[in-house]
Amino acid sequence: MPCINPEGKPTETGKKVLQALRDNGLCSAEKVAEVTGVALFRVRSGLRDMVEAELVELVEDKYNITEKGIKLIE
């Protein structure tokens, strides 16, 4: 199950990942998986897609939600 649908919007799994980043700030993929209960491989794949879609940014080895990502879950 992808984290972004063909229209570029987050799926339910994608929303969980974005909410975890919004609520916890800068996080590793492992922390996001722990907080959301989503499998690590799925989180990593989703984060890659969300970085490409500019919903999430990679800061060194951690992830942070962008303003664009925040707007999609409000």
Question: Does 3 reside within a domain?
Answer: no
pTM for this entry: 0.92
Domain presence at residue 52: yes
Considering its fold, how many domains does the chain have in total? 1
Is 50 contained in some domain? yes
Mean pLDDT throughout 8-37?
95
- pLDDT value, residue 70: 96
In a domain, 27, yes or no: yes
**For residue 4, is it within any domain?**
no
**Closest alpha carbon to 55 in 2, 12, 4:** 4
Res. 60: pLDDT tops 70: yes
Domain contains 62: yes
Q: What mean pLDDT do residues 35-54 have?
A: 95
> At a CB cut-off of 8 Å and minimum separation 6, what does 15 contact?
72, 73
**What's the CATH code of the domain at 34?**
1.10.10.10
* Apex 50 CA angle, 41 and 46, nearest 5: 15
Range of the domain at 48: 12-73
With cut-offs at 50, 70 and 90, classify the pLDDT of residue 39.
very high
- Does the pLDDT value for residue 43 go beyond 90? yes
How confident is the model over 17-30, as a mean pLDDT?
A: 97
